[in-house]
Amino acid sequence: MIRESQAAVIAGVAVDTRHWIGGERVASTETFTDTSPIDGSVLGEIARGTAMEAAAAVAAAKAAFPGWAATSRAERARILHAIADGVEKRLEDLAIVETCDSGALLRSHRRGVMPRVAHNFRFFADWLLRLEHEDFETRGHTNHVSWDPAGPSVLITPWNAPLMLATWKVAPALAAGNTVVLKPAEWSPLTASLLADIAAEAGLPAGVLNVVQGYGAEIGDALTSHPDVRRISFTGSVPTAQRIAESAAANLTPLSLELGGKSPLLVFADADLDLAVDLAVEQYDNAGQVCLAATRILVEESVAEEFTRRFVSKASALKQGDPRDEATDIGPTIHSRQLEKIDGFVQRALAAGARTVIGGHRDGQYYAPTLLTGVAQDSEIVQEEVFGPVLTLQTFTTEDEAVRLANGTRFGLAATVATGDPERAERVTSQLVAGTVWVNCFFVRDLQAPFGGSRLSGVGREGGTWSFDFYCDLKNTVTAP
């Protein structure tokens, strides 16, 4: 039984607010308050981890590593499927808890996000069973490449799609035979705790998955500088990634960094304009708190007026409100600090000469879907990630100019191209600097594809075999004839 002071109870779902270390719940002497972005209500008092809990979690992961690494692939895959079953069984609980914790839409969680969480486990379980390198010969000797588990892995995740992003790392790390210390973001700590329960019920041995809570600045360094940690996978902002890279340098711990973006949507005059407008309006999903969001709309001059007219008509119909309501399209912003950040970007852009097409203001915890024009390529609003429902619109007259504007930031996470001309699509995509490029579509994700960012958007790729490349130590064994 969880004591009342150690639980958050959300819509009847009890979530343990302590750490999960070595198969046991562990409290901290201090806690921090987790509030809901929907109405500011207090959801729970969460264990506030320090270097002490970080050390305990890494020690638990280290102790559990030899056993888990020696577990057969088939057994690891079986347990990962059992975790997926558990996620599916508790889908409604996970959906409502995460909606209340993060403010993201309940309908998306029910139908998209939580099924994807289960799929993360199933996909990497199945991929593990197919994972092979072909043996090859050198002067009669056989080369055999094996995928050896690397060791305890620290996984640090952000608040914008908490459980989906966490399990995108947890699943391949566990499949690879590594043990894990997961640290979710302090603004959305709850579903990671439910995952710990689900994994334990699925038969994952104690210490294989550990979950620690707390502020990154207080518990982060102790995790990322720990000499027993053999992999760090981080999703979050560029400044935090830089900090983690410094901390990991002491032990040369291999890093995978999935960071921010300022992705473009290029709309050519030959595009299906309604489709292009749909793609643009889709960028307000999750109140714009999506790393991949194409927040810079680049439209060919000749269709810019018509595009804008149709965009305004469509975007104005979006319903903003309580994310638990099925009819809601856009929920609140995660935290008042994030709202202030968003509004600061918009106000500075307006002061620098930008014009508001729609939005440009906040209402309580909700930021209105915003489109700004009259923005210069070198302005802050075009160059920096806002991470809110704020888009900019620029025009171009030639394909070269479109590519130059698209590539003209320090980021390179994704890009979307709307065009009716397949040759143009090929020409343009080959020049774009981005980890993922979509042509006449957006957010179509297959887990076997490499995923990551170029430039400041990240280091390395995860997904399919690339995840195992990262989480494993590849070993080549050469045997004489």
Which CB, 291 or 432, lies closer to ligand NAD?
291
Maximum pairwise Cα distance, the chain: 74
Can residue 118 be called a binding residue for ligand NAD (CB under 6 A)? no
> Which residue stretch of 47-55, 99-107, 179-187, 358-366 sits at the interface with ligand NAD (rule: CB under 6 A)?
179-187
In the complex, least distance from residue 258 CB atom to ligand NAD, rounded to whole angstroms:
3
Q: Which of 86, 152, 236, 359 binds ligand NAD (CB under 6 A)?
A: 236
User: Binding to ligand NAD by residue 224, rule CB under 6 A?
Assistant: yes
Q: Which of 85, 88, 221, 282 contacts ligand NAD by CB under 6 A?
A: 221
Per-residue contact flags (x/-) with ligand NAD for residues 237 to 266, judged by CB under 6 A = x--x--xx-------------xxxx-----
- Does residue number 461 form part of the binding site for ligand NAD (CB under 6 A)? no
**Does 387 sit near ligand NAD (CB under 6 A)?**
yes
Q: Which residues are catalytic?
A: 258
Alpha-carbon gap, residue 127 to 78, rounded angstroms: 12
Q: Which of 14, 87, 97, 185 binds ligand NAD (CB under 6 A)?
A: 185
Site residues for ligand NAD, 127-166, by CB under 6 A, read 156-160, 165
Closest to ligand NAD by CB, 149 vs 158, is 158
Could you tell me which of 424, 430, 436 has the C-alpha nearest to residue 399?
A: 424
Binding segment for ligand NAD among 34-42, 47-55, 232-240, 264-272 (CB under 6 A)?
A: 232-240
Non-local CB neighbours of 382 within 8 Å, separated by 6+ positions: 262, 296, 375, 376, 392, 394, 409
| Cα gap 105→113, rounded to integer Å | 10
In angstroms, the CA 207 to CA 322 distance is: 38
Nearest distance from C-beta of residue 14 to ligand NAD, angstroms: 23
Question: Nearer Cβ to ligand NAD, position 46 or 79?
Answer: 46
| Torsion region of 168: left, alpha or beta (phi above 0 gives left; psi -120 to 50 gives alpha) | alpha
60 binds ligand NAD (CB under 6 A): no
The C-alpha atoms of residue 78 and residue 285 are separated, in whole angstroms, by 34
Work out whether 217 is an interface residue with ligand NAD (CB under 6 A): yes
- Return the residue matching tokens 């500075």: 348
Q: Whose Cβ is closer to ligand NAD: residue 236's or residue 264's?
A: 236
How far is residue 387's CA from residue 447's CA, in Å, rounded to a whole number? Answer: 24
- Binders of ligand NAD in range 405-434 (CB under 6 A): 413
Question: Which tokens go with 213?
Answer: 């809570």
| Residue 201 φ/ψ, nearest 5 degrees | -65, -30
Cα 439 from Cα 206, distance rounded (Å): 45
HSE value, Cβ hemisphere, 13 Å, CA-based, for 458: 27
In this complex, which beta carbon is closest to ligand NAD, that of residue 227 or of residue 481? 227
Which range, of 11-19, 215-223, 304-312, 426-434, touches ligand NAD by CB under 6 A?
A: 215-223
Residue 18 sits in the site that holds ligand NAD (CB under 6 A) = no
Instruction: Kindly determine how many residues on this chain lie close enough to bind ligand NAD according to the rule CB under 6 A.
Output: 30
CB under 8 Å, gap of 24 or more: what pairs does 465-470 form?
465/127, 465/131, 467/124, 467/127, 467/172, 467/176, 468/127, 468/128, 468/131, 468/147, 468/172, 468/175, 468/176, 470/172, 470/231, 470/233, 470/254, 470/256
393 bridge partner residues = 297
Select the residue interacting with ligand NAD from 28, 235, 286, 333 (CB under 6 A). 235
Q: CB nearer to ligand NAD: give 149 or 216.
A: 216
Shortest distance, position 332 Cβ to ligand NAD, whole Å: 16
34, 101, 186, 300: which one contacts ligand NAD (CB under 6 A)? Answer: 186
We find the least distance from the C-beta atom of residue 467 to ligand NAD, in angstroms, to be: 13
Question: In this chain, which of 47, 202, 267, 291 binds ligand NAD, going by CB under 6 A?
Answer: 291
Q: Which residues between 357 and 386 bind ligand NAD (CB under 6 A)?
A: 385
Give me the residues that bind ligand NAD (CB under 6 A), please.
Answer: 156-160, 165, 183, 185-186, 216-217, 220-221, 224, 235-237, 240, 243-244, 258-261, 291, 385, 387, 413, 453, 458
